[in-house]
Structure 1
Amino acid sequence: MSRVFPYPLLTASLVTMWLLLTSFSLGQFIVGLAVALVAAQGMAALHPSKPRLRRWDLIGKLVVTVLYDIVRSNIDVARILLQGSRRPNTSGFMTIPLELRDPTALALLAVILTATPGTAWLDYNASRGTLLLHVFDLVDEETWYELIKTRYEHLLMEIFE
């Protein structure tokens, strides 16, 4: 059974998403199930490592923190764009050393930083443990450094490492 459905939650999620995006009919269910089964088999062929969560209780705090930061960042970016040429452009790149080593936690940090308007994860150097980040409004590098280290990295390390 696990060969046919190696990732049952992924399969169910993909079928559900397929039906939400198309129409609820038997034909669409069959097509969605076929797509989900092929995707699950492709995922199984990659042999991803299973994440090990140490602190489940902190996941809610992480979600609330990220959602709050996304809303706040949307407002800040909109304010900057609406001000137009009245405000000088202060975007830039910065390198942040990370202590985080868990691949799942690093991937989650990449998603968080890229999903937050005004920031983009550009590169991660695994040998040096450094992150290259682009910030749309880089006024104070120390503020961004502290934000990522204390707000995200510390929390992700508690959850995953």
Structure 2
Amino acid sequence: MTRWLPYPLVSLALCILWLLLNQAFDPASILLGALLGIVVPLLVRNLQPLGYPRLRAPLTFIRLIGMAGVEIVRSCFNVSRIILFADYNQVNSQFIRIPLTMTDPYGLAMLSCLINMTPGTVWVEILEDGYQLSLHVFDLHDEQWWIDTIKTRYEQPLIEIFETEAARGDPA
């Protein structure tokens, strides 16, 4: 089954999306949607050499997405206020370093997406010396607050979601 349908949920979603976009439920549309649902995952399965990620804590994932959504909206208002009304001489734009403990590539990718979606912050790179995240903050007031926020609000839930107990160093 996994040879022809490596990601069955993705195949089903592609077929349904095709039918919704075409606003048709005739046999030709169903056949083309099923064909897309089979062919596209087969063509892109080599783009994920580590395999399909497994969410180990779905409720934590939902809480993380909700909290990140609130943070994104809050940051939109703060950045807009700074751009529209603040004196540019008062804006303290800086790079900071945040030490990371997470090593899972899917967790790091999710962390990078969450950071880059938040206005006012940009993930720059992971520095090899000490495994640190280089982060640019548009208006930095308290560096320790940023470090604590990234570590507790984002990194800890992502470790719980993506990393196994063996990778975290916890007893199995």
Q: TM-score range by the shorter chain?
A: 0.7 to 0.9
Q: For the Cα contact (< 8 Å) 1:120–1:135, is it kept in 2? A: yes
Name stretches of at least 5 consecutive residues in structure 1 with no aligned partner: none
Structure 2 residue aligned with 1:76: 78
Structure 2 residue aligned with 1:39: 40
* Deviation, structure 1 residue 35: 4.6
Root mean square deviation of aligned Cα: 2.5
Separation in structure 1 between the aligned mates of residue 131 and residue 88 of structure 2, nearest angstrom: 38
Structure 1 residue aligned with 2:23: 24
TM-score for the superposition, normalised by structure 2: 0.77
Which residues in structure 2 correspond to 1:1-161 (within 5 Å)? 1-20=1-20, 22-25=21-24, 33-46=34-47, 47-85=49-87, 88-125=90-127, 128-161=130-163
* Deviation, structure 1 residue 87: 5.9
93-102 vs 23-32, greater mean Cα deviation: 23-32
Separation in structure 1 between the aligned mates of residue 74 and residue 2 of structure 2, nearest angstrom: 43
Q: Once the two structures are aligned, what percentage of the paired residues are identical?
A: 39
Partner SS, residue 95 of structure 1: strand
Name stretches of at least 5 consecutive residues in structure 2 with no aligned partner: 164-172
Partner SS, residue 111 of structure 2: helix
* Deviation, structure 1 residue 89: 2.7
* Deviation, structure 1 residue 97: 1.0
Partner SS, residue 92 of structure 2: coil
Runs of 4+ in 1 over 6 A off after TM superposition: none
* Deviation, structure 1 residue 52: 3.9
What letter matches 2:84 in structure 1? L
Q: For the Cα contact (< 8 Å) 1:94–1:141, is it kept in 2? A: yes
Q: Which protein has the larger Cα radius of gyration, Structure 1 or Structure 2?
A: 2
* Deviation, structure 1 residue 160: 2.4
What letter matches 1:72 in structure 2? R
Separation in structure 2 between the aligned mates of residue 154 and residue 17 of structure 1, nearest angstrom: 34
TM-score for the superposition, normalised by structure 1: 0.81
4-13 vs 74-83, greater mean Cα deviation: 4-13
What letter matches 2:162 in structure 1? F
**Count of residue correspondences:** 160
What letter matches 1:4 in structure 2? W
Measured against aligned partners, the alpha-carbon deviations of 1:28-76 in whole angstroms (never above 9, x if no partner) come to 6665555544431133223333334433332222122111111111111
What letter matches 1:83 in structure 2? F
